Structure 1
Amino acid sequence: MAKPNYTLKDKTLNGLGNLIRLLPTGTVFIYQLLNPILTNDGHCTIINKYLSGILIALCGLSCGFSCFTDSYTDNEGSTHYGIATMKGLWPTSKSMDTSSYKIGVGDFVHAFFTMVVFGVVTILDRNTVDCFFPAFESTEKTLIMVLPPVVGAISSVVFMVFPNKRHGIGYPSN
């Protein structure tokens, strides 16, 4: 069987699709929905800072946790979701052997960089910056503008080295 020839466009779109899969859409949506409310549109009191910090932490943990979820299709065609463990997926049906879904180093690398990418998303949010760093000067704002492309480039290289083979909750299994 001949190996298909992938064009640069195919590889780029595939890489973009993998990057889009990194951040769970629901988590980012929840963050973008609740953040303006919890930060009081950037005019924070101490309570707003705590609430916004809790939101950021929970959403970051959700992004990291999603890297340890996977799905499989059983013999009857039903899709099952689970959490990757050292022994395989949990919970699992008795009829399927899910030992091939064990946690690996790549899962931890993905979780770490997914949380870093989410951190960059939070730093790009104007309300978050105004809430936590209201006195930022132009040099700090320049750093915030330079940080996303640098993190994106580093993350892209890491994700090419450790490709994501998991089909987490919300993503169809192949």
Structure 2
Amino acid sequence: MAQIAPDVKIASVEGSTTTQQVTQKTVTGLGNLVKLLPSGTFFLFVFLNPALTNNGECRTSNKYLTAIFLALCGFASCFSWFTDSYIDKNGKVQYGIVTKKGLYPLSDSDTSSVNLSTYKLCLGDFAHAFLSLIVFAIVALLDPNTMDCFYPSFESTQKQLIMALPPVVAAVASSAFIMFPNKRHGLGFPPREASEKS
């Protein structure tokens, strides 16, 4: 009996370790997904779009304002992929723009403590920016207020497309974001730790 108890204990510890690993991977994947989608831009859109579109009853001025707003939100969802951050020698978070030569700091004049060339632009940055833009475009352009403002007959004639397109795009983008995680820690996200730097 004394021998069975340790084996059972070990098995339960191993089982809980496996469960913890699966849980950790799942939470990490969901965290990456939340981090990668343009949530700040989306919330700004949700709050301002009804006012700019006059709840879908647009005049010409509303159409221009909404078009400019959509373009700015699309730019913001893409631009955030080309920013990153680091911790300077004083322990402060510094942000910069990613270039093909490395990170271009926005405000830090003394970058001697950080190798900025490790933050080079890569193909994945463009892929993530494109997917982010597509997700935002689908959400924004299929919003009832936006449709009523720009193309009012589309909602009645293309109901199946309106119902099917968002989940399909979300599934494709989510899969891509989870399979190809991004290591950028741009504007609005905590900087990478020293152990994460590559």
State TM-score, norm by structure 1.
Answer: 0.88
CA distance in 2, matches of 1:13, 1:134: 40
**1:35-54 pair list within 5 angstroms:** 35-54=49-68
TM-superposed deviation, 1:64: 0.1
Does the aligned pair in 1 maintain the 2:140–2:146 contact within 8 Å?
A: yes
CA distance in 2, matches of 1:52, 1:29: 15
Correspondence for 1:94 among 111, 118, 140: 111
CA distance in 2, matches of 1:102, 1:137: 43
Describe the SS at the equivalent of 1:82.
Answer: strand
* Range moving further from structure 2, 73-82 or 110-119: 73-82
Count the aligned residue pairs: 170
Unaligned 5+ segments in structure 1 are none
Q: Which has the larger radius of gyration?
A: 2
Unaligned 5+ segments in structure 2 are 1-16, 193-198
Please tell me whether residue 172 in structure 1 is matched to residue 184 in structure 2.
Answer: no
Correspondence for 2:176 among 137, 158, 163: 158
RMSD: 1.8
| CA deviations over 1:32-91 (Å, ceiling 9, x no partner) | 222111111001122211211110111010000000010011233221111101111112
Distance 1:137 1:127, change over 3 A: closer
- Amino acid in the other structure paired with 2:120: K
- Amino acid in the other structure paired with 1:75: K
